[in-house]
Structure 1
């Protein structure tokens, strides 16, 4: 980049445009970015156009409702993520009040949040706010939502298929579910299987894997494909569903990224379809009208900065 162009960008670039672009890339949707930023969709589209005009590069190629970042768009996203990551750390380092913040946080969570980014977030949050106490309770997504609506907890990490009135929600993880069987199942290790080979098999299921519930996409998939096997075992716990699949009770659905080691160790076997079944989101949820103490507000602000810094795929990957 020429020196005169670099000086122009340093002097004239509106950093709010980068912030908007970060959210667009993280949500992979202009409409979802608009909802998250509390802006109209035309305002977000205009911000993207202004950023592209300022940089003199097309950042996103639109294909109907979907889009793909260009090579320049990927690079701008990487640089913008670094900038906002450094700004967040600078804000924390310069704020000498962080050691003085005390209080308690009650966080409700579904079982098995598997994310290196989340683990590092918790470690950094504790270093920054050593006098804040954190209580994490594991429960079903429906119970998380009920508790949040009653204002009895700070926030929740759970499944939320449709927006809930009074609750704010941010997509924290996007998990791709696929079908697996365990080492003790008759289909284990068999090659060239088709969907027809699975239709009569019994199923291990989540208790929320029902039409209308938080994991209903899995139930809808079975119904549409004509599965005739019965549900022979169920649990609200991901680890228990995984255990039952391994034990050979039936085939079942699990998030792909969580069972990578099980596949490598030949405890589980991936079944059709190759592309998986459905994406299921884990959301950060909180009651928008609940009065937060200083500790709770610091937690929510820190979580939002983490989500700005890392894209959805990065939050699932190993660092």
Structure 2
């Protein structure tokens, strides 16, 4: 009988549940967090990690008070464990789809300020046509959303783009315009002021509001207004809006998103009122990814809606 190699022995003896615990630890970065995700007790998680390390013959995670990080061996195992998880999910979906059903999960990576009737229409149609399929939506920075699609960890992304990513397929989903706003506690709220009156006031903004980043046009607007700071930054639109409403500073928001707050007197639009910066929001797909039937269905719906909607109908803000 041929002697098995160490790799073959590892494959024979490896229990998928141990890899599942390892993935939860890598994502939660703590024993407590992994136990909560898995519905296990903390000692059970620690024991599973030890069994995996014993079978792998390597320490996979360095744990110390205030520190939790993957070892080089753990970092090497992580993408392989993710690939195993993806293969198991695909196997389950393949059996469901063999029965003729469109099932499976569609994972959407969205930038936080994606507000589009077209997306809402696509999701409504998708659920009506394929009720057994499930949706998972993560709100991420645009950079993280693109990375998720590139690494085949998300079915698609709708986000901002700094540069067209290599190997990915992109299409303008809609165009939005940004303006500057302040909240009721701010001294400029309700006042008819000029652009020069904004100089020296503190700003709040998005983390990508930097020259050369996805919201470079907004960064340029902030500089033209002479705003200082920013004194507060966030990835999510709701948190930027929260800081504006609290009067912490003047901040940028998409005009169509802020319109209801302005109408209700919760936000005040500040200059400039002419030629606001335009930002394109993109649909990002990975042509190298093998989509399940549910992912294919949603992609088809989105592409059909985009084909039926001319670019000028997907402009939210001035000139819409």
The TM-score with structure 1 as length reference comes to 0.65
Q: 1:189 to 1:295 in 2, by over 3 A?
A: same
- What's the CA shift string for 1:254-302, capped at 9, x where partnerless? 0000011111111111111112531112111011211222221111111
Q: 1:226 to 1:124 in 2, by over 3 A?
A: closer
- What's the CA shift string for 1:36-59, capped at 9, x where partnerless? xxxxxxxxxxxxxxxxxxxxxxxx
Note if 1:202 corresponds to 2:199. no
Instruction: Report how many aligned residue pairs link the two structures.
Output: 220
Aligned position for 1:120: 121
For the Cα contact (< 8 Å) 1:245–1:251, is it kept in 2? Answer: yes
Secondary structure at the aligned position of 1:100 is classed as: coil
- What's the CA shift string for 1:191-226, capped at 9, x where partnerless? 1x1111112111011011112221111112333x26
Aligned position for 1:218: 218
Secondary structure at the aligned position of 1:230 is classed as: strand
Note if 1:243 corresponds to 2:242. yes
Secondary structure at the aligned position of 1:170 is classed as: strand
For the Cα contact (< 8 Å) 1:206–1:234, is it kept in 2? Answer: yes
Aligned position for 1:35: none
Aligned position for 1:169: 170
Aligned position for 2:307: 308
CA distance in 2, matches of 1:312, 1:148: 24
Q: What's the CA shift for 1:316?
A: 6.1
List structure 1 runs of 4+ shifted beyond 4 angstroms.
none
Q: What's the CA shift for 1:118?
A: 1.9
Higher relative contact order (CA 8 A, sep 6+): 1
Secondary structure at the aligned position of 2:228 is classed as: coil
Secondary structure at the aligned position of 2:165 is classed as: coil
CA distance in 2, matches of 1:166, 1:308: 22
Note if 1:153 corresponds to 2:163. no
For the Cα contact (< 8 Å) 1:158–1:282, is it kept in 2? Answer: yes
Aligned position for 2:145: 144
Q: What's the CA shift for 1:314?
A: 3.8
Q: What's the CA shift for 1:113?
A: 2.6
CA distance in 1, matches of 2:254, 2:234: 15
Q: What's the CA shift for 1:311?
A: 3.4
Q: 1:313 to 1:147 in 2, by over 3 A?
A: same
For the Cα contact (< 8 Å) 1:118–1:315, is it kept in 2? Answer: no
Matches within 5 A, 1:279-298: 279-298=278-297
Secondary structure at the aligned position of 1:248 is classed as: coil
RMSD of aligned alpha carbons = 2.2
Q: What's the CA shift for 1:116?
A: 2.5
Matches within 5 A, 1:46-85: none
For the Cα contact (< 8 Å) 2:168–2:285, is it kept in 1? Answer: yes
Q: What's the CA shift for 1:249?
A: 0.7
Aligned position for 2:277: 278
Aligned position for 1:104: 105
Note if 1:179 corresponds to 2:185. no
For the Cα contact (< 8 Å) 1:179–1:276, is it kept in 2? Answer: no
The TM-score with structure 2 as length reference comes to 0.64
CA distance in 2, matches of 1:263, 1:242: 12
CA distance in 2, matches of 1:173, 1:135: 22
Secondary structure at the aligned position of 1:160 is classed as: coil
- What's the CA shift string for 1:241-262, capped at 9, x where partnerless? 0111111111111000001111
Aligned position for 2:262: 263
CA distance in 1, matches of 2:151, 2:118: 29
Greater Cα radius of gyration, structure 1 or 2 = 2
Secondary structure at the aligned position of 1:196 is classed as: helix
Q: Which runs of 5+ in 2 are unaligned?
A: 1-97
Q: What's the CA shift for 1:188?
A: 0.7
